[in-house]
Structure 1
Amino acid sequence: MDRLVVPFSTRAEFQMHLATCLSHAEHTLQMFDPDYDIWELGHSGTDAGLRRFLQNGGRLQLAAHEGKRLERDAPRFLRLLRDYGHLIEVRRTSKSLRQLTDSFCIADQFHIVRRFHADHFRGEAAFNSPQDTRTSLERFLTIWLESGPGLLANSTGL
């Protein structure tokens, strides 16, 4: 598969590229969004894709500023967290990171879907392109290290 970079500007395009990114993941998924409002983590198709990924031993890391929408609107994701809590870690960003407004999903350090600002749909998807994931991956690792425990399988509180 050759490197592919695709700009997008609509919700439907974001959802399509996100689904593609999730389907390419084999080992790691690293995600950051202020609240995952439009990610459809509670959608049956997303749940099925994430379950397949986790059943094959994949590891999922999510970082967010807050998780009230996940707790309220994504019961499938909460069940996924309960069922695969040993492979999923969710962290809540510290107050010093609350100004961050981008949004991205990185699969296996090789594929990425990113929105430049979480309030807008404009962004790009890059597949088979480790060079396009590098900056966001470094950003994610910094966010991850400066974040604390979030949503747990048996309690809420992201």
Structure 2
Amino acid sequence: MQEPVREAVVRFDTRAEFESQFRACLAAARTRLDLFDPDFAVFPLGSSEVDASLREFFRRGGVLRLAMHSPAHIEGHYPRFLRLLRDYGHLLGCRSTPKGLRNLTDSFCIADDLHLVRRFHSAHMRGEASFALAQAVELPRHRFDAIWTESFSVLQSTTTGL
């Protein structure tokens, strides 16, 4: 049995610390993950550890939604993630923002409306992670929902592969 996540806010300012907090958020997720980043270049979506964690998350029925400005980095650098899309496309949605939202520069991951990892600006590693703090998730949740509504589908799995 997994230990309950205790309330915590952790600040970070390096890529290694960001990746560690993202993995902790992924491990804490049970039913839903919503991520926004301009291109997901710093998210370790192509690593074997994240692949294994996401596969377990999907096997439990979890749903993942990614919103981004461009899917080019994922298409060119994350073949494991593209296989996840093929295998779990019914639980994984990817959307791209319209031109009017391309000025958004923050980056965040929300798990179960309870846990949050966010970088204040996507060009920098400085940010914070909040665990078991629903109030910290409120504003990013509203932002993500608005971004998701305005965005259009990309990276869809098809019968020809991808």
Q: Could you say which TM-score interval applies, normalised by the shorter chain?
A: over 0.9
Partner of 1:12, secondary structure, is helix
Structure 1 CA distance for aligned equivalents of residues 55 and 146 of structure 2: 27
Is 1:53 equivalent to 2:57 in the alignment?
yes
Structure 2 CA distance for aligned equivalents of residues 70 and 148 of structure 1: 16
Is 1:104 equivalent to 2:108 in the alignment?
yes
Partner of 1:51, secondary structure, is helix
Alignment partner, residue 27 of structure 2? 23
In the alignment, structure 2 segments of 5+ residues that lack a partner are none
Q: How far 1:47 sits from its partner (Å)?
A: 0.4
In the alignment, structure 1 segments of 5+ residues that lack a partner are none
Letter in 1 for 2:76: R
Is 1:34 equivalent to 2:5 in the alignment?
no
TM-score (norm 1): 0.96
Structure 2 CA distance for aligned equivalents of residues 117 and 83 of structure 1: 32
TM-score (norm 2): 0.94
Is 1:84 equivalent to 2:73 in the alignment?
no
Letter in 2 for 1:130: A
Tell me how many residue pairs correspond in the alignment: 156
Q: Deviations over 1:103-135 (max 9, x none)?
A: 000000000000000000000000000000110
Structure 2 CA distance for aligned equivalents of residues 106 and 18 of structure 1: 10
Structure 2 CA distance for aligned equivalents of residues 95 and 150 of structure 1: 15
Letter in 2 for 1:151: L
Q: Deviations over 1:53-100 (max 9, x none)?
A: 001000000000001110010000000000000000100101100000
Alignment partner, residue 145 of structure 2? 141
Is 1:6 equivalent to 2:10 in the alignment?
yes
Structure 1 CA distance for aligned equivalents of residues 6 and 54 of structure 2: 25
Is 1:94 equivalent to 2:98 in the alignment?
yes
Letter in 2 for 1:80: L
**Identical columns (%):** 50
Alignment partner, residue 121 of structure 2? 117
Q: How far 1:40 sits from its partner (Å)?
A: 1.4
Structure 2 CA distance for aligned equivalents of residues 99 and 74 of structure 1: 24
